[in-house]
Amino acid sequence: MSEVYAVRRGLLRDRCAAVGSAAALVSRPANVRYLAGGAPPGSVLLLGPGGDVLLTPRAPSGDPADGRTDEQLRLSLLPGSDGDPVVAAADLAASSGAESLAVEEHHLTVSRHRAMGSVAPRLRLADLGATVEQLRVVKDEEEIACLRIAAEITDQALGELLESILVGRTERHLALELERRLVDHGADGPAFATSVATGPNSGQGRHRPSDRRVEEGDFLSVCLGANYRGYRCEIGRTFVIGTTPADWQIELYDLVFAAQRAGREALVPGAAYRDVDRAARYLLDSAGHGGGLAPWTGHGVGLEIDEDPQLAPAAMGKLDACVPVTVEPGVHLPGRGGVRIDDTLVVRPEADGGPELLTITTKELLAL
Amino acid sequence: MSEVYAVRRGLLRDRCAAVGSAAALVSRPANVRYLAGGAPPGSVLLLGPGGDVLLTPRAPSGDPADGRTDEQLRLSLLPGSDGDPVVAAADLAASSGAESLAVEEHHLTVSRHRAMGSVAPRLRLADLGATVEQLRVVKDEEEIACLRIAAEITDQALGELLESILVGRTERHLALELERRLVDHGADGPAFATSVATGPNSGQGRHRPSDRRVEEGDFLSVCLGANYRGYRCEIGRTFVIGTTPADWQIELYDLVFAAQRAGREALVPGAAYRDVDRAARYLLDSAGHGGGLAPWTGHGVGLEIDEDPQLAPAAMGKLDACVPVTVEPGVHLPGRGGVRIDDTLVVRPEADGGPELLTITTKELLAL
């Protein structure tokens, strides 16, 4: 198991060496976890001439998932909470002979960066950029297995909700109940703040649950996901409350369903990110809903719920196999509500059966 | 209502002017909310020569608490999600004639800071430091009223839990139930991740709830708090499960109780932060528990759960009236468990009756 992390760190060292930096400091928590197998709060990972060191401001917490780290790592506990591990890392890198250190400028604050410069004035601080995020885009089968379990848990939690009485309950309560059910089924927690949107709120991307109660005739849209061993998936569904959906509801649902299917079908290795986005966006645009659409129609998932790639009109790049992404177009009509349909899928070659759908809850328009 | 925010922004402008900066950019979300009355996701606040502008990458969400902003502010929506509001703010500050702009270097990343420099190369970027955090330390009565309600909600949620059957339930479930009860009683959500620790886990500061079940004879320590209109409080209590506590449990409880009381009694205007810490720490140190103690014994609360001041051995500064803080010493004996007792109080002059205890749940050692 720990070999996986050592291999990942080896890849990062290679990339750094290729741009002339023999040492790198990783501070973004998901990146630290990816490379070390665990990320105690505040810890940072130094890949330096003296080996790989995880510097942490205090002892790892009792949580095995966060505290577990690769045995091949040295673990360095800084005394007290005053010492900033990035400053200690700069000091350590300089004293072990590094001339330059690549840091995550998109994560480090200006203050911390300056403090590193003060403690190690002769160390040249370079930019590591999104190198680790790029390594994280393509998942191995063990990572995908975690996402698959996260999706199973999510489907179970959602399925149970659908069997309960919904009318009269508030968005907030339904969201809390979904989160409880995620944990019941083995999640470490929700992957992100569960969204439940009713009536005029429905169809909005990340609507924060309010005290509005579910009413007959409402659209109800939910978006939730489990965090399983750090891996996060996402599902979004829209239902109708009551026996018969109105005509406008059926029409809007069919439109978003067709758009989402088009997006899913565009998930093939080699497809440009922007072409997947266009596939999901095209039908909605043509039907006159282009103005209100979210700026993206999907995104990568993994150790974070919102990772590269972004499926958006201006995104650069092409899909690889084994990249898990969401496809989540939605339309919201102000004052009336709307529809969002959201799946997590893994890009697979056609020879392997095409995209692997992780979130398998039905996408029929259910009347609850 | 909106006048409060304009007054706060006036104070900030004065402080900036005093250090020679006519323009300031606030990016830390709690600081934006404090000054604007609301902080849509990703928004930043520019106080510039051209007036006060809230720049936000997308329309405010449906949540009134987050979307509500001062009418005296101009609201500027940036098209799409690509534009970084801090870059747009730098551009705007430069084009409205500012020569320098004070930014929150402890919040801005190196990458964003550099992007600001690129778009406005002649604008001198200075450091605003923790100026807004310092303004936030002393609360007005309206803020304290929100904290008082948050504490009432928290006491209610905890009180209900104590009336239910606990043996056999997992830490995770108890934590989720507490969070549901917080929302039931009107919280916008939990102020932080609720901690429930049983048996050998008990007494640890921010233990993450596990699947361990409550057993007869356990210590059970909980730490929770409500978020009410953005204001966050904290309570921590330790109980014994079963009819009769063991001698070591009573002894440890009495010790921590005495330490916490000493800390509470030290909360007077003008007291040095470190002296409050020492008051709470002294008895625990003397009893030989000094080694395992957390590096602080309390901290400020408000729009964030962990604010200035920090009550710690090396903290500099003195308490003012109307500063809400926690007092939360605890002892954890590895393998056996421990005790933490945590209250939120507001510092008040003795003439006004001394510290105002917001979290009023009993601190007797209850056997549940």
Q: Are B124 and B177 in a shared domain?
A: no
**B-chain residues near A177 (CB < 8 A):** 180
A296–B210 C-beta distance less than 8 A: no
Give the model confidence (pLDDT) of A352-363 as tens digits. Answer: 999 999 999 999
pLDDT for res A291: 80
Separation between Cα atoms, residue A109 and residue B107, nearest integer Å: 6
By C-alpha distance, which of A105, A115, A122, A109 is closest to A84? A115
pLDDT (mean) for A261-286:
96
Give the model confidence (pLDDT) of A139-187 as tens digits. Answer: 999 999 999 999 999 999 999 998 988 999 999 989 989 998 999 899 9
A114–B109 C-beta distance less than 8 A: no
Q: Are B28 and B60 in a shared domain?
A: yes
**Could you tell me which residues come within 8 angstroms of residue B232 by beta carbon, excluding any fewer than 6 positions away?**
B147, B150, B191, B192, B225, B226, B301, B302, B303, B304, B305
Q: Are A315 and A173 in a shared domain?
A: yes
Give the ipTM.
0.83
Q: What DSSP string describes A35-82?
A: HHS---TT-EEEEETTEEEEEESSPPPS-HHHH---TTSEEEEPSTTT
Q: Are B37 and B168 in a shared domain?
A: no
Which of A99, A120, A136 finishes a domain? A136
pLDDT (mean) for A197-216:
92
The confidence band for B270, taking pLDDT boundaries of 50, 70 and 90, is very high
pLDDT for res A170: 93
pLDDT at B125 over 70: yes
**B-chain residues near A31 (CB < 8 A):** none
Q: Are A199 and A338 in a shared domain?
A: yes
Q: Is residue A209 part of a domain?
A: yes
Q: Are A231 and A243 in a shared domain?
A: yes
**Could you tell me which residues come within 8 angstroms of residue B294 by beta carbon, excluding any fewer than 6 positions away?**
B205, B330
Separation between Cα atoms, residue A304 and residue B320, nearest integer Å: 41
pLDDT for res B59: 52
Q: Is residue A60 part of a domain?
A: yes
Q: How much is the mean pLDDT over chain A?
A: 91
- The CA-atom distances, in angstroms, between B129 and each of B42, B100, B112, B126, B324 are 20, 15, 16, 9, 22
A159 φ/ψ angles, rounded to the nearest 5 degrees: -60, -40
Q: Is residue B247 part of a domain?
A: yes
Strands in A124-127's sheet, in edge-to-edge order, are A74-77, A51-56, A44-48, A23-26, A100-103, A124-127
Q: Is residue B336 part of a domain?
A: yes
B338 φ/ψ angles, rounded to the nearest 5 degrees: -175, -165
Q: Are B175 and B73 in a shared domain?
A: no
Q: Are A145 and A87 in a shared domain?
A: no
Q: Are A205 and A350 in a shared domain?
A: yes
Separation between Cα atoms, residue A163 and residue A166, nearest integer Å: 9
* A62 closest CB neighbour out of B80, B183, B204: B204
pLDDT at A65 over 50: no
Separation between Cα atoms, residue A79 and residue A62, nearest integer Å: 18
Percent of chain A with pLDDT over 90: 79
pLDDT for res B17: 87
Pairing mode, strands A100-103 and A124-127: parallel
Give the model confidence (pLDDT) of B186-208 as tens digits. Answer: 999 999 999 999 999 999 878 98
pLDDT at A67 over 60: no
Q: Is residue B368 part of a domain?
A: no
Check CB contact of A18 with chain B, cutoff 8 Å.
no
Q: Is residue B201 part of a domain?
A: yes
Strands of B187-234, DSSP E: 189-190, 195-198, 219-224, 226-228, 231-232
Segment 101-130 of chain A within 8 Å of chain B by CB: 103, 105-111, 113-114, 127
Which residue is it, tokens 């421990």? Answer: B338
B106–A111 C-beta distance less than 8 A: yes
Which of A121, A136, A151 finishes a domain? A136
Residues B100, B22: contact at Cβ < 8 Å?
Answer: yes
pLDDT (mean) for B26-45:
93
**B-chain residues near A210 (CB < 8 A):** 62-63
Which residue is it, tokens 């409402």? Answer: A218
B108–A110 C-beta distance less than 8 A: yes
* B110 closest CB neighbour out of A80, A105, A183: A105
Tell me which chain B residue has its CA closest to the CA of residue A314: B82
- Bridge partners (DSSP) listed for residue B175: none
Q: Are A97 and A125 in a shared domain?
A: yes
Check CB contact of B18 with chain A, cutoff 8 Å.
no
* A262 to chain B, closest Cα gap in Å: 23
Q: CB atoms < 10 A from the CB of B252, how many? A: 25
Cβ-based contacts under 8 A for chains A and B: 81
* B357 to chain A, closest Cα gap in Å: 28
A179–B208 C-beta distance less than 8 A: no
Give the model confidence (pLDDT) of A224-235 as tens digits. Answer: 999 999 999 999
3-state helix, strand, coil in chain B (%, to 5): 40, 20, 40
Segment 269-308 of chain A within 8 Å of chain B by CB: 295-296
Q: What DSSP string describes B18-84?
A: HTT-S-EEE-SHHHHHHHHS---TT-EEEEETTEEEEEESSPPPS-HHHH---TTSEEEEPSTTTS-
Segment 194-213 of chain B within 8 Å of chain A by CB: 201, 204, 206-208, 210
By C-alpha distance, which of B321, B43, B96, B342 is closest to B206? B342
pLDDT for res B337: 95
* B183 closest CB neighbour out of A108, A172, A296: A172
pLDDT at A9 over 60: yes
pLDDT at A253 over 50: yes
**A-chain residues near B196 (CB < 8 A):** none
Count each helix (H run) and each strand (E run) in chain B, helices first.
10, 19
**A-chain residues near B111 (CB < 8 A):** 105-106, 127
Higher-confidence residue of A220 and A291: namely A220
Residues in chain A: 368
Q: Is residue B42 part of a domain?
A: yes
Higher-confidence residue of A272 and A1: namely A272
pLDDT (mean) for A16-27:
90
Give the model confidence (pLDDT) of B252-267 as tens digits. Answer: 999 999 999 999 999 9
Q: Are B303 and B182 in a shared domain?
A: yes
pLDDT for res B187: 94
**Could you tell me which residues come within 8 angstroms of residue B11 by beta carbon, excluding any fewer than 6 positions away?**
B135
Q: The domain spanning residue A204 has which CATH number? A: 3.90.230.10
Which of B82, B110, B136 finishes a domain? B136
Which residue is it, tokens 């007005």? Answer: B140
> How many domains is chain A built from?
2
pLDDT (mean) for A195-219:
93
| Structural domain span for residue A125 | 2-136
**SS3 of residue B9 by DSSP:** helix
pLDDT for res A293: 84
CA torsion angle B62 A226 A38 A131 (round to 10): -60
By C-alpha distance, which of B31, B208, B190 is closest to A227? B208
Q: Is residue A363 part of a domain?
A: no
Q: How much is the mean pLDDT over chain B?
A: 91
By C-alpha distance, which of A314, A308, A279 is closest to A295? A314
Separation between Cα atoms, residue A215 and residue A331, nearest integer Å: 20
Check CB contact of A186 with chain B, cutoff 8 Å.
no
- Residue B30 identity: A
Interface test with A, best of B110, B174, B221 (most A CBs within 10 A): B110
- The CA-atom distances, in angstroms, between A138 and each of A20, A32, A98 are 25, 17, 30
Give the model confidence (pLDDT) of A325-343 as tens digits. Answer: 999 999 999 999 999 999 9
pLDDT at A1 over 70: no
Q: The domain spanning residue B38 has which CATH number? A: 3.40.350.10
Strands of B59-152, DSSP E: 74-77, 100-103, 124-127
Separation between Cα atoms, residue B292 and residue B205, nearest integer Å: 11
The confidence band for B62, taking pLDDT boundaries of 50, 70 and 90, is very low
Q: Are A237 and A307 in a shared domain?
A: yes
A201–B296 C-beta distance less than 8 A: no
